């Protein structure tokens, strides 16, 4: 230390003697440094794909090898505007078209190198490659502890253990089947609520609440009624607020993730909001875990019980358990509700298709009873409708969360370095006329098999339509999601004719948050098909109005549903 100080003094003394540090020299030096920096910034930026790609390739002298085509964007920040949009999937598709890079496009998000494909063959190469088994972790995901949950956990033993536990318990076909009773109860409550309200109402809040209650029951063993009656009302409201806030934070493009020099300033207040949310989530989930530990009675096992019973290497710390449980609530809630809203919107918009679903329900179920889950495998047209909606309105148009290259690799003949973020634009693939005939037409028939045809699977084997992703990190909740969506849609369709509301026609505009939702929530009128007796519910109850237009906070009168 002393030596360094003495050396510095000598250098300064010499420099002053040499007159190297005159004001003029310093100004020139700064100017030269600034000019050099500007030139380098422009050189990096001039590279196809923008500054992050230019920096990587020029520093490694990869000038001769074929670059991946892509937009340059702006110096320093690259193409942040592509992802900052609420229609990122549209913008990326348009940019790929413009650059002639539908197979593979490179772009820069600040310092982050990204690639995206709008082609099913290249999508398969990316998603099924072991190199892309990791995920880029956003600051918000770290702050919300999601790096310890399945979706953001780094590829490795911990992630594999979590997937195995979830597959053996939460997503096991037996477990999915055993939750049928709860799905039935929620479907019945939804029918009651829609039957009360009947005219010109929004479906979204009820669907989201139903979906949340369903996950709360499977994960935490908590049974809430959709009308929020009883002492749980505060807990439901608290939970909903926590989920909404987390959803908003994870769905935002955080500029600090890609421009590290911004991180200290937290310009979008994302770190600040995460730091306020985490203790609330911890308190909420810790309370439920403690109640499970204290409860020694015989009851149906939920996912908390499963995690608490794990022994040896599988045993999770409390904080890891909180992350895993919280993620499941999170992932399982909105995706399902968003998809059902799109399905209902399409059926309102296409009454001819709706009446074909009704005909099928009448044939398979008959009007004398409600739908049961065992009816669904007998149906052909309803699954085709659901697939067609997944094609035109995939809830994760960019497959929700991107993948990260663990090692250097080659994709579609191009060198892709480790640390590159990879995305699949499933929305663009499913609307590509080279992949689907009449891609913009809503035609469920395309999924109705003719004699001898193999049924089209949306579970990830065919990348022409893989709304749940594919490969190692494919969605583990896909069977649970499809079971829930099919049953609830069948129940809602069996009970009602779905018509547009008087004031709002169906608007198919989209907004991409964490999932891709209808920008203008669906508003409908329903007409009972099976003669529901809802007389004891009071059609104009104040509750009905409040629940369907704002968060529920009063106790409604929901009577038992009777068949006339
Ligand atoms: C319509 C409903 C759903 C859709 C469209 C959907 C879609 C997706 C997609 C596209 C991915 C990324 C896959 C990939 O990278 O290849 C994903 C991952 C995931 N999903 Fe789903 N999902 C749905 C429902 C659910 C449900 C109900 C759950 C759980 C309760 C769930 C839990 C997860 C988890 C934990 C991951 C991360 C997997 C990993 O990284 O290993 N999802 N989902």
Mean pLDDT per 10-residue run, the chain (564 residues)? Answer: 53 63 84 92 93 90 81 96 94 97 97 97 97 91 86 94 94 94 96 94 95 93 78 78 90 91 91 93 93 84 91 91 91 94 98 98 96 97 98 94 94 95 98 97 94 88 97 96 98 97 91 94 96 47 36 33 31
Q: How far is the CA of 477 from the centre of ligand 1 (A)?
A: 6
Q: Alpha helix (H) ranges present in 498-551?
A: 542-549
Environment class of 496 (CB within 10 Å of its CB; exposed 0-12, middle 13-18, buried 19+) = buried
Closest CA to 121 of 546, 427, 412: 412
Residues constituting the chain: 564
Instruction: Pick left, alpha or beta for residue 266 (phi over 0 → left; psi -120 to 50 → alpha; otherwise beta).
Output: left
pLDDT score, position 55: 93
Instruction: Pick left, alpha or beta for residue 48 (phi over 0 → left; psi -120 to 50 → alpha; otherwise beta).
Output: beta
From 133, 218, 468, 488, the mutation candidate for ligand 1 (largest count of ligand atoms within 8 A of CB) is 468
φ and ψ of 108, to 5 deg: -115, 135
pLDDT score, position 11: 61
Report helix angle 180-197 to 542-549, nearest 10. 110
3-state helix, strand, coil in the chain (%, to 5): 55, 10, 35
Q: What is the DSSP string of 116-165?
A: EE--HHHHHHHHT-GGG-B-PPPHHHHHTTGGGSTTTSPTTHHHHHHHHH
Binding-site residues for heme, in ranges, read: 475
Nearest-CA residue for atom 41 of ligand 1: 473
Contact 334, 514 (CB under 8 A): yes
pLDDT score, position 2: 43
Cβ of 525 less than 6 Å from ligand 1: no
d(CA 18, CA 14): 6
pLDDT score, position 8: 57
3-state secondary structure labels for all residues of 432-460: CCCCCCCCCCCCHHHHCCCCCCCCCCCCC
CA angle, corner 124, sides to 416 and 440, nearest 5?
115
pLDDT score, position 60: 78
d(CA 543, CA 121): 51
Cβ of 110 less than 6 Å from ligand 1: no
Ligand 1 atom showing the smallest separation from residue 395 Cα: 5
Each residue's pLDDT tens digit, 217-265: 999 988 888 876 555 678 888 888 998 999 899 888 999 999 988 988 9
pLDDT score, position 450: 80
d(CA 93, CA 118): 7
What is the value of ipTM here, to two decimals?
0.99
pLDDT score, position 139: 87
Q: Residues 6 or more apart from 233 whose CB is under 8 A from it?
A: 553, 555
pLDDT score, position 130: 96
Nearest-CA residue for atom 3 of ligand 1: 335
- Residue 533, SS3 per DSSP: strand
Q: Residues 6 or more apart from 193 whose CB is under 8 A from it?
A: 206, 226, 227, 544, 547, 548, 556, 558
- Report the percent of the chain where pLDDT is more than 90: 72
Contact 400, 91 (CB under 8 A): no
Sign of CA dihedral 510, 512, 516, 520: negative
Nearest-CA residue for atom 21 of ligand 1: 475
Q: How much is the mean pLDDT over the chain?
A: 88
Cβ of 391 less than 6 Å from ligand 1: no
Binding-site residues, in ranges, read: 475
């Amino acid at each position: 230390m002393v030596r360094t100080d003495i050396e510095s003094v000598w250098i300064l003394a010499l420099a002053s003697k040499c007159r190297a540090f005159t004001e003029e020299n310093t100004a020139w030096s700064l100017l030269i440094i600034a000019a050099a920096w500007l030139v380098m910034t422009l050189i990096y930026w001039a590279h196809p794909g923008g500054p992050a790609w230019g920096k990587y390739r020029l520093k490694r002298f990869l000038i001769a090898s074929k670059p991946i085509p892509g937009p340059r964007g702006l110096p320093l920040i690259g193409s942040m505007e592509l992802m900052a949009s609420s229609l990122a999937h549209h913008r990326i598709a348009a940019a790929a078209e413009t650059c002639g890079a539908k197979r593979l496009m490179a772009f820069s998000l600040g310092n982050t190198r990204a690639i995206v494909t709008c082609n099913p063959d290249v999508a398969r190469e990316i998603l099924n490659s072991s190199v892309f088994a990791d995920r880029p972790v956003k600051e918000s995901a770290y702050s919300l502890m999601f790096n310890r949950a399945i979706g953001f956990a780094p590829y490795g033993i911990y992630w594999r253990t979590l997937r195995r536990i979830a597959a053996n318990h939460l997503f096991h076909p037996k477990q999915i089947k055993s939750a049928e009773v709860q799905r039935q109860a929620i479907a019945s409550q939804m029918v009651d609520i829609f039957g009360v309200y009947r005219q010109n109402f929004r479906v979204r809040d009820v669907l989201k609440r139903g979906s949340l209650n369903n996950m709360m029951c499977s994960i935490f063993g908590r049974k809430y009624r959709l009308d929020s009656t009883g002492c749980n009302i505060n807990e439901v409201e608290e939970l909903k607020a926590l989920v909404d806030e987390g959803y908003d934070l994870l769905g935002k493009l955080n500029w600090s993730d890609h421009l590290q020099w911004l991180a200290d300033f937290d310009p979008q207040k994302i770190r600040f909001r995460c730091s306020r949310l985490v203790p609330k989530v911890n308190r909420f989930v810790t309370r439920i875990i403690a109640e499970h530990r204290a409860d020694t009675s015989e009851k149906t096992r939920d996912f908390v019980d499963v995690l608490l019973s794990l022994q040896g290497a599988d045993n999770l710390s409390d904080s890891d358990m909180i992350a895993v449980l919280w993620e499941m609530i999170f992932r399982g809630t909105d995706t399902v509700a968003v998809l059902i809203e799109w399905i209902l919107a399409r059926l309102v918009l296409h009454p001819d298709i709706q009446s074909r679903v009704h005909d099928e329900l009448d044939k398979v179920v008959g009007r004398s009873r409600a739908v049961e889950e065992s009816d669904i495998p007998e149906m052909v047209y309803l699954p085709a409708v659901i697939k067609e909606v997944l094609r035109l309105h995939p809830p994760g148009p960019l497959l929700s969360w991107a993948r990260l290259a663990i090692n250097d690799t080659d994709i579609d003949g191009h060198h892709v370095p480790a640390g590159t973020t990879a995305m699949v634009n499933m929305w663009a693939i499913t609307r590509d006329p080279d992949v689907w005939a009449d891609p913009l037409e809503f035609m469920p028939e395309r999924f109705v098999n003719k004699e001898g045809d193999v049924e089209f699977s949306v579970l990830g084997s065919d990348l022409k339509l893989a709304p749940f992703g594919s490969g190692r990190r494919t969605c583990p909740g896909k069977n649970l999601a499809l079971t829930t969506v099919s049953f609830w849609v069948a129940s809602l369709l069996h009970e009602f004719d779905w018509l547009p509301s008087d004031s709002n026609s169906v608007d198919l505009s989209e907004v991409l948050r964490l999932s891709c939702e209808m920008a203008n929530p669906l508003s409908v009128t329903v007409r009972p098909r099976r003669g529901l007796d809802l007389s004891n519910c009071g059609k104009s109850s104040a509750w009905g109005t409040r629940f369907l237009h704002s968060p529920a906070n009063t106790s409604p009168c929901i009577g038992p549903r009777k068949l006339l």
